[in-house]
Structure 1
Amino acid sequence: MNSPPVGSCRIGLGAAYGIGERGVLRAFEHGVRFFLWGALPKADFGAGLRRLAATHRDALKIAVQSYSRRGWALRSGIELARFRLRTDYLDFLCLANWSTMPPPDVLEAAARLQERGLVRHIMLSCHHRPTFRELGALPPPGLAAWMVRYNAAHRSAETEVFPLAAGPSRPAIIAYTALRWGTLLDARYAPPGEPPLTAVEAYRFVLSSPAVDVCLAGPRDDAELTAALTALAQGPLDEAGLARARRVGDAAYAHGRAQPPSRLRDVLAEAPDLAPSLWRDGVTEHLLSRFNR
């Protein structure tokens, strides 16, 4: 069974959280090849990618996110990323934060960028799991990769998304929010009498799924990068480790359903009418990643 070229390493790094040039180079030395240049990238992260692209471009898998909702707006973001990273092409254009199938003009504009060689593959991040069934019906070449929320607390992708990504032309699966915005590591969200997960355990849980091609990490510093690289070296959890991760995940999930984390509550208190649509449309993922790290 073939998969799109996301690289053989199953840990990828996001650019928005803190590590810079030295961390990017260190990750590459440990085998990391997939790098996501997201909506709020750190400039020093880009410096690391520029250095690597100068000598190891063929080994890199660089993905750039676009939150554009109009097809005509896609190219400007791609050109800016190519200029900032000093690369002739990008490996993936990620159509970001969709909860429904993107409109035809967006898909067509993405395909034109691919035809022109500016990007090699198209991927999509989606917060609404039923939409993946529509994505799976797109004929090849279609979308080469899906970004899916998956962690020890949010496991529904195992039954609702991963089985759809099968067959000889299957999309790659890029899993994000492995730490559930830090709540899996927080004793306040753990079951009574049981410690929370470590970051290593949380990443290893995601890596335990054979459906996941890349687990995204967003380290803020060297210690958090070390945790991701340690998880990569140790690989999947054993059955006892998986059972523990699920217990902690279930407790964190139950806590989250009871009430949003405190800082998000403060945001929603300012605009309570937004809450239903935020939870439904997946904007919560974006907010949580900014307010709960």
Structure 2
Amino acid sequence: MDDWLHRAPAAFHQKRLFRLGLAANYGIDEDGVRAAMDRGVNLFFWTLRAGGLRSPLREALQQRRDRVAVVGVAQVGWFGWGVRRGAEKLLRELGTDHLDVYLLGWLGAGSAWTSATEREMLHLRESGKVRAIGVSIHDRPRAGGLAASSPLDLLMIRYNAAHPGAERDIFPHVRDRKPSVLAYTATAWRRLLKKPKGWDGPAMTAGDCYRFQLSNPNVDLALTGPKSRAEVEANLDALAKGPLTPEEEASMREFGRAVHG
């Protein structure tokens, strides 16, 4: 079970991480963040919408930096100067001397992988201000190409029961070069939590969605964005069930196809 709940991905320099990371985009308060930390969550996704994550994370970074991992997102990802300034601003906000992973967010829509941004990302990695570099991306064929031949250490990708295309377009390339994979949109923006028209069985729970992601051997880590302590507790409880059984996986894939339409 420990192998199921923890992994030491290459992008994080083999730091031992709880496989479900926490994002605070949807309003979780400090009490919820601290509850997640108490249960072993030590990977955090830092954006401008940090909410209740700010104080607990700053404290954790000061007290146990070697056991906490932070993924920061470039706030201006179109130009080299924006990438550099974004990283420096994140470091000041968090009061730390390095980010574990620095991401160009939503590549192709919110940021660009150009010679200038690539050069600045590499410079930041070489300087030690960031330990690894990555992108979040929805363009699966392009992500597969970046996985196969780029200096990126991590890909943050959409992967869930309604959108399993990464299994075809990305994961074969990940196996070749082995950039780490962080999966998000587990619930397909909550669509997987509701029964589609004509579906007679139960809908998936959020916990089912995270188990689906993490049961794929190519997925190192997943992100959860709970609104409350109760939601994060339920998600963590679900992981205790372990990987999906073949029957569970088949059922969830069928449900995902129905949701996708």
Residue 126 of structure 1 pairs with residue 137 of structure 2: yes
User: Which residue is 1:70 aligned to?
Assistant: 79
Aligned to 1:10: 19
Alpha-carbon shift at residue 193 of structure 1 (Å): 1.1
1:56-205 alignment, distance < 5 Å: 56-66=64-74, 67-99=76-108, 102-138=113-149, 142-167=151-176, 169-187=177-195, 189=196, 191-205=198-212
Offset at residue 227 of structure 1 (A): 2.4
Matches within 5 A, 1:18-29: 18-29=27-38
State the SS of the aligned residue for 1:63: strand
Q: Secondary structure at the match of 2:227?
A: coil
1:50 pairs with 2:61:
no
The letter for the 2-side match of 1:54 is Q
AA of the residue aligned to 1:215: A
Q: Report deviation, 1:217.
A: 0.6
Measure, in 1, the Cα distance between the counterparts of 2:53 and 2:9.
Answer: 31
What TM-score do you get using the length of structure 1 for normalisation? 0.80
Measured after TM superposition, the shift of residue 208 of structure 1 is: 1.1
Please report how far the alpha carbon of residue 131 of structure 1 lies from its aligned counterpart in structure 2 after TM superposition.
0.7
Q: How far does the alpha carbon of each residue in 1:13-62 deviate from its partner, in whole angstroms, 9 at most, with x for none?
A: 11211113222222222222211112x42242111101111111111110
CA distance in 2, matches of 1:207, 1:85: 28
Question: 2 CA distance for matches of 1:81 and 1:21?
Answer: 20
CA displacement, residues 60-99 of structure 1 (integer Å, 9 cap, x when unaligned)? 1101112521111112222221122111111110111114
Q: Distance in 1 between matches of 2:57 and 2:90?
A: 11
Matched, 1:223 2:239: no
CA RMSD of aligned residues (A): 2.0
Q: Which runs of 5+ in 1 are unaligned?
A: 255-293
Please report the TM-score for the alignment, with normalisation by the length of structure 2. Answer: 0.89
Give 1:12 shift. Answer: 0.8
> Which whole-Å CA distance do the structure 2 matches of 1:191 and 1:37 have between them?
39
Identical aligned residues as a percent = 37
SS at match of 1:72: helix
Return the alpha-carbon distance in structure 1 between the equivalents of residues 56 and 89 of structure 2.
17
Q: Can you list the C-alpha shifts for 1:77-128, whole angstroms capped at 9, x where unaligned?
A: 2222112211111111011111497111001011111122211100111111
Q: How many residues align?
A: 249
SS in 2 for 1:148: strand
Q: Unpaired runs of 5+ in structure 2?
A: 1-7
Tell me by how many angstroms 1:201 deviates: 1.1
How much has 1:190 moved relative to structure 2? 6.0
Please state if 1:235 is matched with 2:234: no
Contact 2:28 2:51 in 1 (8 A): no
